[in-house]
Structure 1
Amino acid sequence: MPPDLHGRVALVAGATRGAGRGIAAALGEAGATVICTGRSSRTVLRRSDYARPETVEETASLVSQLGGAGVPFVADHLDHDDVRRLAAFVRAEYGRLHVLVNDIWGAERLKGGPADWNTPVWEHDLDAGLRILRLGVETHLVTSHFLLPLVIREPGGLVVEVTDGTSAHNASRYRISVFYDLAKASVNRLAFSQGHELAAYGGTAVAVTPGWLRSEMMLDAYGVAEDNWRSALAAGAPPGFAESESPRYVGRGVAAMAADPLRDRWNQRSVSSVELAREYGVTDVDGRQPDSW
């Protein structure tokens, strides 16, 4: 049976595109009310690190189209006043949060492409590296600081920290640069630490990583769309791209976990989209269970 999250309130921080949009959409498929946050908006002038067309309003509209209730909220998660205002909005409108998803990133351009990877820390642009850490770690801490009081109002709250690579995978592998490596390892550990603190309140925190994600930026890089992404394989994409996944795949795993009355068994763990898919029997939009790991 598909997960049923009617009556549940979720907030996806960083829902504009990529995994954040996929998770918001999947929560919408399950009937949740989903507050979709980010800096890119049709109506509010906020500066994003990407010059991309996607907006939080589009994500919220998609959530509603899929059966949930999408609520856009424009916020910069490095701005304490913005996130404080977000928490006040959630408190006033809904009283609590059942699910908080920390998917803020925004450093895809800063990490560079393959030609930039493996640049030693002493040669890496320091300002860019520190910006990666601010976008990838500090944003998550700011968001949790202001919103976790709403998650612990009742037992059963769920916090999902979205990262790249499980703790086990990253423990023995250098990931792109010192700054990127540290950011993704930190988010895994953040789920562990928050899980320790949430347990006393009946809450759960888990780190979740997608596999090779067919984000909007990835599709653009290969000159394809979601409906013809396989043509990239004939046009020079590596063979591993055949096991890539749409953003909805990790989202459906998160939605299933949110609906699981025994979700506390995931507390403090670090898992991949395919692990969740196999555990809950969910599939990607094409009916497959891809495993790019």
Structure 2
Amino acid sequence: MNVYKPLEGRVALVAGATRGAGRGIATELGAAGATVYVTGRTTRERVSEYGRTQETIEGTAELVTEAGGTGIAVPTDHLEREQVEALVARIRADHGRLDVLVNDVWGGEHLFEWTSPVWEHDLANGLRLLRLGIDTHLITAHYALPLLIQEPGGLHIEVGDGTTEYNAKTYRESPFYDLAKVAINRMGWAHAQDLAKHQATSVSLTPGWLRSEMMLEHFGVREDNWRDALAKIPDFAISETPRFVGRAVAALAADPDKARFNGESLSSGGLAQVYGFTDVDGSRPDAWRFIEDGRPANVADYR
């Protein structure tokens, strides 16, 4: 039986695809038939400062291929300009095009201190967080966007945490984290102004409460028993898998009319209402609407 793959023949780069949202996005782009270059610092031979050996870019590439696409792992530190330039040169040499760029580089989980004002926060950690969360995205865009605009219809996505509306009125409990996440939304909008002239689209995109590998470990659960965490954290009921935001990216990339979203701040739950996709369990969690509505007791209404 032939399976329809709307992104067959398309080339994508998911920058920061070792784990979490990046891994879910890469996998779903593969399920839609794309060739997906996945990057990160953790490989089977070398581990990043996270110290995690459980997830590697090779593992992500294999998931892409298993899903139906072609996964290609390229070890890349997106703070190193030469490495990013070489990555884009490779994609250009291999395919001569780039249809989707997903800027998901992060790396700051261990660097911010909740509820610490700037004068109490470790300054070195805060500045490192900004480099990992902002500089990496600008460096990647600098080298990759010229290839993206070689063909009309390209899509650039800045992946962050929180919509523009939410982040504009909510302090994220750390001056450095707050700045990094607001910057992601603004970058999505700023690049949209330039890309529109080249018939390309740029947006920022946030998942909801993500059941990433690290989040599951934090709550002491696995994906198959994640609901056990609800006894302590009832709001975790609105959480979603990384595949959900991946399906948001795949749906947006396949939409011939995606330019209507140019410059907008989008969420996985919001796009699920537009395109009709579901999470792997068949639900449609809408975490940001749940938060905006004041975290009602009946979470089921937001799934």
- Do both share a fold (TM > 0.5)? yes
Could you say which residue in structure 2 is the equivalent of 1:38?
40
Q: Which residue number corresponds to residue 283 of structure 1?
A: 278
1:168 is matched by which residue type in structure 2? E
Assess if the C-alpha contact under 8 Å between 1:42 and 1:57 holds in 2. yes
Q: How does 1:69-108 map to 2 (within 5 A)?
A: 69-108=70-109
Match for residue 49 of structure 1? Answer: 49
> How many Å apart are 1:228 and its aligned residue?
1.3
- What is the distance in 2 between the residues matched to 1:216 and 1:120? 29
Paired residue for 2:247, among 249, 252, 263? Answer: 252
Aligned AA (1:106): G
Q: Structure 1 runs of 4+ off > 6 angstroms?
A: none
Q: Residue 120 of structure 1 aligns with which residue? A: 117
Match for residue 174 of structure 2? Answer: 177
The one-letter code matched in structure 2 to 1:65 is E
Deviation, 1:64, is: 0.3
SS in structure 2 of the partner of residue 161 of structure 1 = strand
Q: How does 1:214-233 map to 2 (within 5 A)?
A: 214-233=211-230
Indicate conservation of the 8 Å contact 1:3/1:255, yes or no.
no
Does residue 240 of the first structure (1) align with residue 235 of the second (2)?
yes
Deviations 1:92-132 (A, max 9, x none): 00111000000000001112xxxx41211111111111011
Supply the AA of the counterpart residue of 1:249: F
Pairing 1:189-204 to 2, within 5 Å after superposition: 189-204=186-201
Compute the TM-score of the two structures, normalised by the length of structure 2.
Answer: 0.92
1:24 — aligned with what? 26
The DSSP-based 3-state class of the residue aligned with 1:109 is coil
The separation in 2 between residues aligned to 1:71 and 1:253, in whole angstroms, is 21
Q: CA RMSD, aligned part only? A: 1.2
Q: Distance in 2 between matches of 1:119 and 1:134?
A: 19
Could you report, residue by residue, the CA deviation over 1:202-259 in whole angstroms, capped at 9, with x for unpaired residues?
000000000100000001111211111111213x2x1110010000001101100000
Residues 3 and 207 of structure 1: is their aligned pair in 2 closer, same or farther, counting only changes over 3 Å? farther
State TM-score, norm by structure 1: 0.95
Give the whole-Å Cα distance in 2 for the aligned partners of 1:247 and 1:49.
Answer: 22
Q: Secondary structure of the residue that 2:111 maps to in structure 1?
A: helix
Unmatched tracts of structure 1, length 5 or more: none
Q: CA deviation at 1:2?
A: 7.1
Equivalent residue for 1:67? 68
Q: Distance in 1 between matches of 2:216 and 2:173?
A: 21
Q: Deviations over 1:125-158 (max 9, x none)?
A: 1111101100000000000001111100011000
Using the TM superposition, give the Cα deviation of residue 3 of structure 1 relative to its aligned residue in structure 2, in angstroms: 6.1
SS in structure 2 at match of 1:10:
strand
Asked whether the 8 Å contact 1:49–1:107 carries over to 2, the reply is: no
Unaligned runs of 5+ in 2: 289-303
How many residue pairs match? The answer is: 285
